Amino acid sequence: MRDSVCPALQSIRSAGHLRNGLFSGNSNAAHLKTAAMHISILSNQKKSDIYPKFIGYIQNLLAEIGLEPQRIKMYNMSAAMAGEFVAKAKEMTEIIQPLGLIHYETIQNDWR
């Protein structure tokens, strides 16, 4: 992803930076939210180009911190696609249920 499109991504490139923000009470986790907000104000064409790359980046970060990257996906659909929405919701449920809950304490202890 081009950093010129979303400068906030520069500050969350390293997993260490993300770890510190999410699990040490540091405000660095706000950078991830900021990156998502930068993307959300782009035009629809730019969003369709950037979102898959952003989701791929987040999947890599999840894998690096020990979480299953399958936990996040992106689907693009309009409000008129109720049947498609139901199908995708069922698909994600089938993927996530076998993975189980994320236990914050386990992840935090693995990083110490």
Residues contacting residue 93 through CB under 8 Å, at least 6 positions apart: none
pLDDT in tens, 57-111: 888 888 888 888 888 888 878 888 899 999 999 999 998 889 888 766 655 555 5
Can you tell me the mean pLDDT for 12-37?
A: 48
How far apart, in whole angstroms, are the C-alpha atoms of residue 27 and residue 81? 38
| Contact in structure between 32 and 21 (CB atoms under 8 Å) | yes
Compute the distance between CA of residue 86 and CA of residue 53 in angstroms, rounded to an integer. Answer: 25
pTM of the model: 0.51
In the chain, where the domains are located? 7-110
Distance of CA 26 to the CA centre of its chain: 19
Which candidate, 58, 61, 66, 64, places its Cα nearest to that of 107? Answer: 66
Contact at 8 Å (CB) between 62 and 68? yes
Neighbours of 6 (CB within 10 A): 20
Q: Are 55 and 74 in contact (CB under 8 A)?
A: yes
